[in-house]
Amino acid sequence: MLRGTMETPPEKRFLPTTAAEMAERGWDAIDVLIVSGDAYVDHPSFGPAVIGRVLEAEGLRVGIIAQPDWTNPASLEVMGRPRLFCGITAGNLDSMLSNYTAARRKRREDSYSEGGETGRRPNLAVMVYSQLARRVFPGLPVVVGGIEASLRRTVHYDYWQDKLRPSVLLDSKADILVYGMGERAIREIARRVAANEPLDGIAGTARLLGGRESAERDFKDCAMLPSFEECQADKAALIRLAKLTEREQNPFSGKPLVQFHGARALLVEPPSMPLGSEELDRVYELPYMRAPHPSYKEPIPAFAMIKDSITVVRGCCGGCTFCGLGLHQGRFLSSRSEDSVVREVEELANQKSFHGTVTDLGGPTANLYGCRNGVSKACKTCRRASCLYPQICSNLEIDKQAEIRLMRRIRAMEQVKHVFIQSGIRMELALRNPQYIRELAQHHTSGHLKIAPEHLHPDVVRRMRKPGLKVFEAFREQFEACSREAGKEQYLVPYFISNFPGSTKEEMKAVAGYIREERWNLQQVQDFIPLPMTPAAAMYYSGLDYETEHPIPVIRGLSERRSQINTLKGRKPASKKKRPDDRRR
């Protein structure tokens, strides 16, 4: 029986990964099997662990198989046939992004694998694992989820294969797809499978209907997306697809989406409602071990990066066209309570590996903590993709003291020596709160603060939905002034994107000229990667501006792309060089 509310199990230990670990719990079978393309790290920053713990709190027996040998069906049988369903995820990243660079070359390290070893997950992992589960467990429901499934839920452009692909449901043959942050949907799926009830109408899910149902069903209350065949015939259709998808992303008023693949209809339900603060607290306070499974002998690089960080906010209302977070986590915000964050820091401080530094209090955007949208009546019918662009929406409730209170409370804890902010910061939002910038400069910057203007040419930043040079300069001026006031020598570390749609050598001159004038040595340049389903991917594929649908130049050849990277990239990782005659620095 499902309990209906998440309750903490009495004993804290890893979810079982083998028959021997099942036996230690006295289990002869599991209810749910989760198959992941990542190594198993039992930490709330890793999606498979979160979903496993949520289902465990429902009273279910959950097992995890991490990075199975996809060429060997026996690799999924180590804990027997699950009673309810098999859940499939590629992990915390799309598998193609994990496996390949922007130059379409194989990566030298996989941050989510033991020892950074590559080759531990297949390309298009959701499809491959799902097909394997179908073969090993005939008749068992297969549920796919995670960011790869989210961003491939409809027709999408795959940059690495340089072609359009259908919904991952078509190739994976899964019964249902969960998109977004899946805690609500996965609990409802588990309840319905246990009760032998149909899986239709669950918010935050998608299903591929059969031919007969597709022909007979009335879709008059749905938004009709361009079909797979229409997208194949007309590149501009992908722009229309992206616009319609963004338009219906409001969980309060969004319509179901329908997209035909031949005679079969893909039905995408409206997004799931975001978790409230108390619900989010419960998710992050489930009994995670906060460590990789003890079977691993080598470190897992991704865990090393986040092991001392705390997630305090979920969702992002920025709407950047190159980012998949708005399509995955959603643009409606949820913040944890201060007390919950303090309890997690106390637990972190009890770890032997903790040395007094909380490396991040953040999420997709750190300074959205405490902000609220989706509250007013206008929010519930809003079709905008961003609450921040082209200007900050008046209905976004900005609590200027929430993150300041949180940062002060955490750094006042006896076990904590330092608290840094490493997550992204929306500069236009920070400029409305000078006290936050002062607090950041005085107490929460480790000498360098990463900031992401992304580009400086007005046409390109418009296509990105980023604020541009004026906001960057204003933020920089305030941060440097606050650093001087604190008696600290601190610098911004800017990040820029090369080869964004519409950015040629001419547009890059706006960035390169600024870098030369200010004598910056860039630590990192991100070469643009069109992530599936994002507006930027639609621009890249179609060669059209997202808003005007007018033609724009798109740099595709690797030699041409390298030219922009070389224009921006410094010869060695370094901070901004100080001018001897410039006292401001």
Choice between 565 and 7, residue whose per-residue pLDDT is larger: 565
430: Cα within 13 Å, side-chain hemisphere = 24
pLDDT band at 2 (very low <50, low <70, confident <90, very high): very low
Structure tokens that stand for 201 in this block: 């109408």
- Across the chain, what does the average pLDDT equal? 93
**Helices then strands (H, E): number in the chain?**
23, 22
Mean pLDDT computed over 119-132: 98
The pLDDT of residue 203 is above 60 = yes
Of 69, 68, 67, nearest to 91 (Cα)?
Answer: 67
Residue range 223-262, pLDDT digits in tens:
999 999 999 999 999 999 999 999 999 999 999 999 999 9
Containing H/E element for 377?
Answer: helix 377-380
Q: What is the pLDDT of residue 520?
A: 81
Evaluate whether 266 touches 227 at the Cβ level (below 8 Å). Answer: no
pLDDT band at 463 (very low <50, low <70, confident <90, very high): very high
pLDDT band at 7 (very low <50, low <70, confident <90, very high): low
pLDDT band at 569 (very low <50, low <70, confident <90, very high): low
Evaluate whether 365 touches 316 at the Cβ level (below 8 Å). Answer: yes
Q: What is the pLDDT of residue 358?
A: 97
Residue range 280-291, pLDDT digits in tens:
999 999 999 999
Distance, CA of 553 to CA of 433 (rounded, Å): 38
Residue 124 CA from chain centroid, whole number:
17
Choice between 147 and 3, residue whose per-residue pLDDT is larger: 147
The pLDDT of residue 4 is above 70 = no
Among the ranges given (10-19, 186-195, 480-489), the one the predictor scored with the smallest mean pLDDT: 10-19
pLDDT band at 412 (very low <50, low <70, confident <90, very high): very high
Give a three-class secondary structure readout of 256-291: CEEEEECCEEEEECCCCCCCCHHHHHHHHCCCCCCE
Sheet with 491-498, strands from edge to edge, namely: 448-454, 491-498, 525-527
Residue range 302-328, pLDDT digits in tens:
999 999 999 999 999 999 999 998 889
Strand 176-178 relative to strand 142-145, pairing: parallel
Domains plus CATH for the chain?
19-206 (3.40.50), 308-446 (3.30.750.210), 452-585 (3.30.750.200)
Q: Backbone phi, then psi, for 220, in 5-degree steps?
A: -65, -25
The pLDDT of residue 582 is above 70 = no
Residue range 344-381, pLDDT digits in tens:
999 999 999 999 999 999 999 999 999 999 999 999 99
Distance, CA of 419 to CA of 421 (rounded, Å): 7
Per the listing, tokens 């002869």 go with 28
Residue range 415-462, pLDDT digits in tens:
999 999 999 899 999 999 999 999 999 999 988 999 999 999 999 999
Q: Backbone phi, then psi, for 448, in 5-degree steps?
A: -135, 135
Mean pLDDT computed over 317-340: 94
Q: What is the pLDDT of residue 573?
A: 36
Q: What is the pLDDT of residue 522?
A: 76
Identity at 67, one-letter amino acid code:
Q
SS3 450: strand
pLDDT band at 343 (very low <50, low <70, confident <90, very high): very high
Residue range 49-73, pLDDT digits in tens:
999 999 999 999 999 999 999 999 9
CB neighbour list of residue 157: distance below 8 Å, 6 or more residues apart: 163, 164, 165, 238, 530, 532, 537, 538, 540, 541
Per the listing, tokens 């065949």 go with 229
Q: What is the pLDDT of residue 578?
A: 47
Evaluate whether 283 touches 44 at the Cβ level (below 8 Å). Answer: yes
Percent of the chain with pLDDT over 90: 87
pLDDT band at 580 (very low <50, low <70, confident <90, very high): very low
Q: What is the pLDDT of residue 1?
A: 35
Q: What is the pLDDT of residue 523?
A: 66
Choice between 155 and 524, residue whose per-residue pLDDT is larger: 155
Q: What is the pLDDT of residue 566?
A: 81
Distance, CA of 428 to CA of 3 (rounded, Å): 44
Q: 65 pairs with which residues across the strands?
A: 35
Distances (CA, A) of 396 to 100, 315, 321: 38, 13, 20
